[in-house]
Amino acid sequence: MYEHDVLVIGGGGAGLRAAIAAHEEGADVAIVTKLHPVRSHTGAAEGGINAALRDADSWEDHAYDTMKGSDFLGDAPAIETFAKNAPDEVINLEHWGMPFSREDDGRVSQRPFGGLSFPRTTYAGAETGHHMLHTMYEQVVKRGIEVYDEWYVSRLAVTDHDDPEDRVCHGCVAYDIQSGEIGGFRATGGVILATGGLGQAFDHTTNAVANTGDGPAMAYRAGVPVEDMEMIQFHPTTLPSTGVLISEGVRGEGGILYNGDGERFMFEEGYANNEGELASRDVVSRAELTEVNEGKGIEDEYVHLDMRHLGEDRILDRLENILHLAEDFEGVDGLEEPMPVKPGQHYAMGGIEVDENGETCINGLYAAGECACVSMHGANRLGGNALPELLVFGARAGYHAGGRDLGEARIGTGPSAMSEEEEVDTPVSPGAIGVGDEDVAADGALVDPSEVIGHHVTVEEQRVTDLLEKDDGVNHAEVRADVQETMTQNVNVFRSEDNLKEALEDIRVARERYQDVYVRDPSRTFNTDLIHTIETRNLIDVAEAITLGALAREEFRGAHWRQEHQERKDDEWIKHTMLSWNDGSPKLYYKPVVLEGEDKTYEPKERSY
């Protein structure tokens, strides 16, 4: 058994920041990650990091912009903690050598971004995430923090008390991809999930192939509720053929969107009379698809993003990476012609329910970054807010797990934070098929840490052996393709009750088929067939959770649009959609949104740009 004080699962931005923080507290910390850290998808973030650094700006303004952007579904304690700490985190990165783009006076540059009342987005060209990831990995190397790279965590080692709030997470089980060893990992201080996105639940996504929602799926099955899963951000500017992201920085620098008739539709069609292209992402994505649906798209599929008028010098200085992406992945020269773009799945606002200290309702289990939901993005995340979020809350989770007292959290977690239960009318029953499909068998017996880990290792060894020894069955790639297809078709930018129900049925069928899945590759050496098969199970669980949340939320808020309910219903819906696995029979309930900040209460206002 491997033993450390703190285990961080995932080596992207949130994981690296958490590991550094726990290390600062003197903890023996290790990162367990299915990719080498520099391969993580934080590296693909392009645009920037929002922080109120200048005298003319204030954290209060940043907090307000974020709350408004969230369409009043963000929790004030999370948002205020975030906005206050973001500047320190950016300066931290600068002190760690991050190659930020600079002003003439040598200070860190900032640019305008959608939904911001001040140009507070710091950046490093159009490859901010790459520089941030590498800068933090360098600091991990400097501190000698242990990294188990290409180890795939497939299960959390949680005690089996009936009530999730009594459960304790003692570690995890991981599979060494290169050798096939299944190892038990014990954490005496805490386990921090930092597994990133879940975009692979969709087939048109900016997310990496590795973004399979492992963290939310594992935490959910272990008993942690998942929160606001229906809140999926569709980025308005992705390349049509691959889903590769074209940064909001292009519009921040002055890039213009045109429809097939050459209209600057954001203004001319009145989608956002003030902000135009720089309206919030959900607004721009809906506008684009509306244009396409009305026959004003190009090739019935996309619109144009034009940056030619910015001039070669400015483009090369600030957006050079965009030229490479457009050229390499769409064969378009951004200096000579407009770039084709359409909305693509980009970010999950929802995720593992945590408080401001990164704690879940299971003792010793934390989550941070995209896989977590504090919640600060609510119904819509502002561009440039994901990177500072993973810094602020990655650090807090790391400090807390490492033993620092961060004060009591104001956000409640777990079943005890429930305000009302919900019954959703689903066409098929969601959740587990049959017995033995749970990650925690709640009989209240297993409490000794070594025994708990030993038990989970045994279960995992059995699962892997079964998958490898089966001679015939269903190829996971078929099941995964079915899930991705139905999600993109039915749980997209525009959602209706019928479509959502259809998706639930398709997901149920996928789950049934998954019962017969097998791994063709019999090898214990670098068996990616096995890893993808386990990931596909996670995708089924997160896809179902997203769809259930979307069906329950009968209103239009932020990224979540419903055909039958086209207005924001503040009287009824200023609450979080919560879903607990409930040992295989998912249960939906709600938790109130906290709009009371430290010194003021955020009053919901109409969100216009």
Partner 1 sequence: MSTELKEKETEAETETESASSRQSRRMEQKRQRASRRDLKEEAREEIDDADDTIEIKVFRFDPEVAGKEEPRFDTFHVPFFKGMTVLDALIYARDHYDTSLTFRHSCRQAICGSDALFVNGTQRLGCKTQIADLEDHLGSTIRIEPLPHQEVVKDLVVDMEHFYDQMEAVEPFFDADELPEGELEEQRQDRENREKIKMSTRCIWCGACMSSCNIAAGDNEYLGPAAINKAYRFAMDEREGEDRKQQRLNIIEQEHGVWRCQTQFSCTEVCPKDIPLTEHIQELKREAVKNNLKFW
Binding span for partner 1 by CB under 8 A among 161-169, 269-277, 472-480, 565-573: 472-480
Interacting positions 402-461 with partner 1 (CB under 8 A): 427-428
Catalytic residue among 221, 251, 318, 396: 251
- Nearest-CA neighbor of 30 among 153, 198, 159, 132? 153
DSSP class per residue in 112-147: --TT-SS--EE-STT-HHHHHHHHHHHHHHHTT-EE
Give, as ranges, the residues between 56 and 95 that touch partner 1 (CB under 8 A). 87-88, 91, 94-95
Helix (H) or strand (E) holding 258: strand 256-258
Q: 142 or 309: whose CB is closer to partner 1?
A: 142
Question: Residue 185 half-sphere exposure, CB side, CA atoms within 13 Å?
Answer: 32
Size of the site for partner 1 (CB under 8 A): 79
Q: Which of residues 29-58 bind partner 1 (CB under 8 A)?
A: 35-36, 38-41, 43-44, 53
The smaller minimum CB distance to partner 1, of residues 184 and 344, is found at 344
What's the min distance (Å) between Cβ of 278 and partner 1? 24
Token reading at 481: 């393709």
How many residues are recorded in the chain? Answer: 609
Q: Looking at 47-127, which runs of residues are DSSP E strands?
A: 49-50, 110-111, 121-122
Residues 172-211 that bind partner 1 (CB under 8 A): 178, 208-210
The contact pattern for partner 1, residues 289-308, with x = CB under 8 A and - = no contact, is: --------------------
The least distance separating partner 1 from the CB of residue 120, rounded to whole angstroms, comes to: 13
Smallest gap from residue 143 Cβ to partner 1 (A): 9
CA 503 to the chain's CA centroid? 21
Query: Taking CB under 8 A as the criterion, which residues in 529-588 touch partner 1?
Result: 529, 532
In this complex, which beta carbon is closest to partner 1, that of residue 93 or of residue 187?
A: 93
Looking at this protein, which amino acid is placed at residue 410?
R
Q: H or E segment at 351? A: strand 351-353
d(CA 295, CA 289): 10
Query: Which residues sit opposite 562 in a β-bridge?
Result: 495, 565
Binding segment for partner 1 (CB under 8 A), chosen from 101-109, 185-193, 409-417, 580-588, is 101-109
The full DSSP string for 492-551 is SSSB-HHHHHHHHHHHHHHHHHHTTB--S---SSS-HHHHHHHHHHHHHHHHHHHHHHHH
- Tell me, yes or no, if 463 is annotated catalytic: no
Shortest distance, position 65 Cβ to partner 1, whole Å: 19
The smaller minimum CB distance to partner 1, of residues 44 and 441, is found at 44
Which residues make Cβ contacts (< 8 Å) with residue 558, sequence separation at least 6? 70, 71, 73, 231, 282, 349, 378, 379, 380
Mark whether 251 is an active-site residue. yes
Q: Does 601 bind partner 1 (CB under 8 A)?
A: no
Indicate the residue among 44 and 418 with the shorter CB distance to partner 1: 44
Nearest residue (CB) to partner 1, 238 versus 285: 238
Tell me whether residue 79 or residue 108 sits nearer to partner 1 (CB atom): 108
Span 140-159, contacts to partner 1 by CB under 8 A: 141-142
Q: Which of positions 515-534 make contact with partner 1 (CB under 8 A)?
A: 519-529, 532
Contact string (CB under 8 A) for partner 1, positions 311-330, x = contact: -------------xx--xxx
Query: Minimum CB separation from partner 1 for residue 423, in Å?
Result: 17
Q: Which residues contact 565 (CB under 8 A, 6 or more apart)?
A: 554, 555, 556
Residues 109-128 that bind partner 1 (CB under 8 A): 124-125, 127
Peptide bond between residue 375 and the one before it cis (omega within 30 degrees of 0):
yes
* 67 vs 82: CA distance, rounded Å: 11
* Contacting partner 1 within 491-510 (CB under 8 A): 505-506, 508-510
Gap between the Cα atoms of 245 and 248, Å rounded: 9
Q: Tell me, what DSSP letter sits at residue 446? A: -
DSSP string, 293-336: IIIISBTTTBEEEE-GGG-HHHHHHH-HHHHHHHHHHH---TTT
Three-state secondary structure readout of 373-425: ECCCCCCCCCCCCHHHHHHHHHHHHHHHHHCCCCCCCCCCCCHHHCCEEECCC
Does 481 help bind partner 1 (rule: CB under 8 A)? yes
In terms of CB distance, is 245 or 391 closer to partner 1? Answer: 245
Distance of closest approach, residue 331 Cβ to partner 1, in angstroms: 6
Minimum separation from the CB atom of position 3 to partner 1 (A): 23
Task: Compute the least distance from the CB of residue 325 to partner 1, in Å.
Answer: 6
Helices then strands, each counted (H, E), the chain: 16, 20
Site string for partner 1, 230-269 (x = CB under 8 A): -----------xxxxx------------------------
Nearer to partner 1 (CB atom), residue 139 or residue 360 = 139
Task: Select which of 235, 304, 455, 607 is catalytic.
Answer: 235
CB-nearer residue toward partner 1: 508 or 560: 508
DSSP-assigned beta bridge partners for residue 151: 176
* Catalytic annotation, residues: 235, 251
